[in-house]
Structure 1
Amino acid sequence: MTLNLDRSIRLAINTSEMEWESSPAQGVFRKKLEREGVESGLTTSLVKYDKETAFAPHPHPNGEEIFVLEGVFEDEHGKYPKGAYFRNPPGSQHAPKSPQGCELFVKLNQFQTGDNQLVRIQTAEQTWLPGLVDGLSVMPLHSFATEHTALVRWQPGTHFQPHVHPGGEEIFVLDGMFEDEFGQYPKGTWLRSPPYSKHNPFSEQGCIIFVKTGYML
């Protein structure tokens, strides 16, 4: 089974309109956004852990990237509350659990060759940096080669200039309403724009988005 693997196609999916699907692990549910195989290969999804759920120890031979959307995610290495961002590099393994329950944005098997950095960031404790225009703030999360990942905060009424993403762009709307000339994207929307796509983004209401660029080269 494959899903949304053609990255030449622009996608805008409101995940709040999707139903949770059960996974092979009891108490763990998913909303699938990109998928290469039934239970293997490139994967982007939302994952929900019910309270007191534990997942069997397992490896990530090609890496795992997670942003905690709600609740507290845990493993033997630590606790990751809402807003935590972490990258488990290729070859890592862990035994995840969530006594409180949680929701996650998860990307599997998408690390660039040579990217072996372990990343642990509590974004609630980090400082926002000035963006390129008034009303825009940025919190860098990770960069390697052409790939750049960050949080971007838009104050109400902020407009950015039209621009091109040579290596594509991926966005998950964490809060508020993100907009461009193609539409409006409320909290929970996942956007994927192909290489060399162009848009003119803005936010009249204000929003916070998780952004990844340059990884489709």
Structure 2
Amino acid sequence: MLINADFNQRATVGAHDYDWVASPQPGVERVRLDRVGGERARATSIVRYSAGASFSPHQHPGGEEILVLSGTFADDEDSYPTGSYLRNPPGSSHAPSSPEGTVIFVKLWQMSADEQLKVRIDTRRPDAWQKAADREVCLLHTSACETVSLVRLPAGVQLFSDIVENAEILVLSGSLVEDGQSYEAGSWLRFPPGEYRQLNASTKGCTVYFRDGDLIDTSSEEVPCTKLA
């Protein structure tokens, strides 16, 4: 299955354009943002668990990245409320569930083969955020491959200050504006290398998930990342 699979092209899914598709697991639905492969795929998705939905224990050979957007996500180790960020490295396993229901942002098969650390960050903690020029940043992950963070922009502030390296954005609150087009909370955007877009926070400001770095596809074999220029 190929969905937004040409990474040399811009891809956008608006907050009002979600197409919820049932997963093989009862009570779990997905919005496929990008996908290369079938059930075992390099994939970026919004996933919704109904209350009580769960999966049996399974592995993630290519790793898994999760941001909890609403509700509470759980696994065999702990429960993670809204705002929790998780990285499960390649080869890890878990048994995910949600007793109360949850919506999560998920990326599969997009980690370097040499990544080993399991990461848990509560982005609601004030000390997780740092002031950086005209914005606040919550750093989630950084490596030779990529930088992943949450970014708070005051009203009118521009997101990009230069050309980007495969940037990916999920609007978490407020909205971004581009040439009169507003991207509300829930909107997902992906930009190919070398693009520069004049995206500004709306008059109410915004918070976004922001990823900038090399695209990693380990869906068929272990592939280490390359060093960013």
| TM-score relative to the length of structure 1 | 0.93
CA distance in 2, matches of 1:200, 1:160: 7
CA distance in 2, matches of 1:202, 1:86: 28
Residue type matched to 2:140 in 1? L
* Cross-structure match for 1:4: 4
Residue type matched to 2:68 in 1? V
8 Å CA contact 1:148–1:215 kept in 2: the answer is: no
* Cross-structure match for 1:199: 197
8 Å CA contact 1:73–1:101 kept in 2: the answer is: yes
CA distance in 1, matches of 2:40, 2:137: 33
* Cross-structure match for 1:58: 58
* Cross-structure match for 1:123: 123
Change (3 A) 1:174 1:38: same
Q: Deviations over 1:27-55 (max 9, x none)?
A: 00000011111201200000000001111
Q: Which has the higher strand share?
A: 1
> Any stretches of 5+ residues in structure 2 without a counterpart?
216-227
Q: Look up the SS of the partner of 1:152 in the other structure.
A: strand
Change (3 A) 1:66 1:140: same
Alignment of 1:110 with 2:110, yes or no, is yes
CA distance in 2, matches of 1:131, 1:12: 27
Residue type matched to 1:174 in 2? L
Alignment of 1:143 with 2:112, yes or no, is no
Tell me by how many angstroms 1:155 deviates: 1.5
Tell me by how many angstroms 1:104 deviates: 0.4
CA distance in 1, matches of 2:8, 2:151: 24
1:172 to 150, 170, 173: 170
Tell me by how many angstroms 1:68 deviates: 0.3
* Runs of 4+ residues over 3 Å off in structure 1: 159-162, 180-183
Alignment of 1:73 with 2:70, yes or no, is no
More moved, 82-91 vs 112-121: 112-121
CA distance in 1, matches of 2:159, 2:17: 28
CA distance in 1, matches of 2:116, 2:171: 27
| TM-score relative to the length of structure 2 | 0.89
* Cross-structure match for 1:27: 27
CA distance in 2, matches of 1:69, 1:3: 22
Change (3 A) 1:154 1:105: same
Tell me by how many angstroms 1:126 deviates: 4.1
Residue type matched to 1:25 in 2? Q
Tell me by how many angstroms 1:162 deviates: 3.9
8 Å CA contact 2:15–2:183 kept in 1: the answer is: no
Tell me by how many angstroms 1:180 deviates: 3.2
* Cross-structure match for 2:218: none
> Any stretches of 5+ residues in structure 1 without a counterpart?
none
Tell me by how many angstroms 1:181 deviates: 4.0
* Cross-structure match for 1:155: 154
* Cross-structure match for 1:96: 96
8 Å CA contact 2:146–2:213 kept in 1: the answer is: yes
